[in-house]
A and B are shown apart, each in its own frame.
Chain A
Amino acid sequence: MHIVVLAKVVPDYEVPAGDFELTNSRAHSRYKRMMGLYDENAIESGVQLKEKYSASLTIVSYGIKADIQVLRKAVAMGGEKLSLVLGGSDDPNVIAANLKMAVEKLEDVDLILAGQQSADMDRGIVHGMLAEMLGFAFIPQVAKIEQEDGQWKVIQNTESGSSELKFGGKAVLSITSVPENVPRIPVVRSIFAAKKKPVVQLPEIEGDAMPVDELSVDIPKMESVCEFLPTEDDPAETAKILLGRLREERLI
């Protein structure tokens, strides 16, 4: 059994809003780069499957060379090798096409796991596109994966609860975060071992960009000063003003 986990290196997703800045419409380059949280959940899920079913586990990523260092952590958590397509596009179509190429270079991939969404663009579509390109089924929001009678059985979180799904073929699953897949801290032994594991670097192939133009990226203005609502006279009035203001900003 061969499992692939997709991981993406992104700028620190925990930078507090007050400290957030952009350069060239992207998060400022001064922020540390790290793996997205959902990606780590996916890796953890992958490692657990690997341990349970003695599968092999490959980490596949699309990014820049400097990402290798960060992705080693994914390997240290339990991956066997790393395959990185070198490229700098943000276009989901291009990324999916490149991931497809990387996956096809691996043999007999049975299952692909990916974080529910990357922690920078927050799109959650690349893995679904990849699935379609590979002819795999795509199942988003997966919380639990098991094998049963040669088939996969997964629990998918939905808005109203959960669904239990079963399938026999190949699939791409997007992984959500649940208490069972809190990413492990790799043990020191594997951190060192990860440094010696193979890294396949693949040149990017050209993909068709999605026919969408990005016009602008802005940081929404956050009022940093507290607006004190009048309280003296009439609490009912205060409540009305408050609710009015919240509605105005589409918060409720």
Chain B
Amino acid sequence: MKTLIIEMIEPKRLGELVTVSREFCEQPDMVAVGAGQIPGSFGKAYQVADTVAANLVSDLASLILKEGYEIVLLTASTLGSGIAAPLSVKLSAPVVSEVIGIKPDLVVERPLYGGKAVATYKLNKMPAILTIRRKYFEAADLQGFTDSSPLSIAEKKVALIAEKEEKTEGIPLEDAEVIVSGGRGIGAAENFTMLQDVADLLNGAVGASRGAVDEGWVQPTQQVGQTGKIVAPGVYFAIGISGASQHLAGIANAKCVVAINKDEEANIFKRARFGIVSDYKKIVPVLIETLKEEA
């Protein structure tokens, strides 16, 4: 099937889309949004400088019709969601957003109800547009570079005035896919650096229980729970946290809780998917080593 990827030049995101595209074709084509060299090898590559989704839709639609693409892949990102829906109307094409699984015969999966359910859809018409949720597909290794031809934009509806890179101190807790949280059991402010290391290696954020905040080891903004942040990560490490109900209220929608606690009776194990009964000081340093080795 003739597949087109529309994405920024960002190797991780692009790699994930390439992985997905292999379900449909040998080698996809590509529209690169923004400036830079295009990593990886694509059949054909186009490049457009304008990064505002609203300005791209018309010309992308023409391109897709002209070239007869059957599958259009984007990530479920600000750019992807800005393009996908209007494009689907332009092309009278079906669109499925936030895809997390691809099955044979044009069957795709996406989460509903905040991830509490998963729906499967069959696409009945070509072209079809999919936006892919991040981190569900392993990013393909992108070898070499592909030369591109420019794609011109006919009409600029929206002007980009400024872009701000926010190198925030890590990822905000609410958005983090991995959270490494520590509680009163951590014992001292210094020991939180260990948790920070784990978080950095897993591209996650550091959280805390109120116990740890009360002790003054971490900022109140890092508190997770009823009176702190309500988070929904994929993995939540609860280290030295007893699992009081008010803390659990903040992680009701965490997919997988990993509890490390020296007390096997601790309430946190009732909520945990994986439990390690041990002094965290024995486990966490080793975990860091292992992650480093694997990286």
Contacts and interface: CB of A to CB of B under 8 A. Distances in A.
Q: Do A and B come from one complex?
A: yes
A231 B277 contact: yes
Nearest to A236: B286
A159 interface: yes
A139 B82 contact: yes
A118 to B, nearest CB: 10
Contacts of B158: 137, 139, 165-167, 171
A172 to B, nearest CB: 9
Contacts of B289: 236, 239
B173 to A, nearest CB: 14
Interface stretch (B17-25, B35-43, B86-94, B209-217): B86-94
Chain B interface residue bracket vs A: 35 or more
A159 B165 CA distance: 9
Interface in A79-137: 92, 96, 119-129, 131-133, 137
**Majority secondary structure, B binding face:** mixed
B121 to A, nearest CB: 5
Contact of B112 (A120, A128, A215): A120
A157 B88 CA distance: 23
A226 B94 contact: no
Interface in B76-130: 77-79, 81-82, 84-90, 92, 94-98, 107, 111-114, 116-125
A226 B273 contact: yes
Given A132-B57, A226-B272, A252-B235, A211 B94 contact: yes
B259 interface: yes
Interface string A124-158: 11111101110001111100000000000100111
Contact of B107 (A158, A164, A215): A215
The binding surface of chain A is classed by DSSP as: mixed
Q: Counting chain A CB atoms within 10 Å of each CB, which of B89, B256, B269, B294 scores highest?
A: B89
A238 B283 contact: yes
Given A125-B88, A159-B77, A164-B161, A226 B269 contact: yes
A13 B111 CA distance: 13
Nearest to B274: A227
B34 to A, nearest CB: 11
A249 interface: yes
Interface in B176-209: 178, 202
A16 B245 CA distance: 13
Interface string A3-39: 0000000010111110010100101000000000000
B165 A160 contact: yes
B154 interface: no
Contacts of B123: 211-212
A165 B119 contact: no
Nearest to A232: B278
Nearest to B233: A251
A52 B260 CA distance: 51
Contacts of B121: 212-215
Given A17-B116, A211-B123, A228-B276, A165 B160 contact: yes
Contacts of A163: 51-52, 160, 162-164
A223 interface: yes
A66 interface: no
Nearest to B254: A17
A17 B270 contact: no
Interface residues of A, number: 79
B78 A217 contact: no
A131 B77 CA distance: 18
B166 A162 contact: yes
Interface in B207-250: 234-235
Given A13-B114, A215-B120, A239-B290, A164 B162 contact: yes
Contacts of B255: 251
Contact of B165 (A124, A161, A213): A161
A219 interface: yes
A160 B157 CA distance: 23
A242 B287 contact: yes
B78 A229 contact: no
Given A161-B163, A236-B290, A138 B273 contact: no
B159 A17 contact: no
Interface string A232-252: 000110111011011001111
Contact of B118 (A153, A167, A218): A218
B275 interface: yes
A109 B35 CA distance: 36
A92 to B, nearest CB: 8
A157 B97 contact: no
13 contacts: A14-B252, A17-B252, A119-B114, A122-B98, A138-B53, A138-B86, A158-B79, A164-B160, A216-B119, A217-B120, A218-B117, A219-B117, A246-B256
6 closest cross-chain pairs (CB), A and B:
A128-B85, A161-B166, A211-B125, A132-B86, A132-B89, A125-B85
Given A119-B114, A226-B274, A243-B287, 4 more contacts: A96-B89, A137-B54, A137-B158, A165-B161
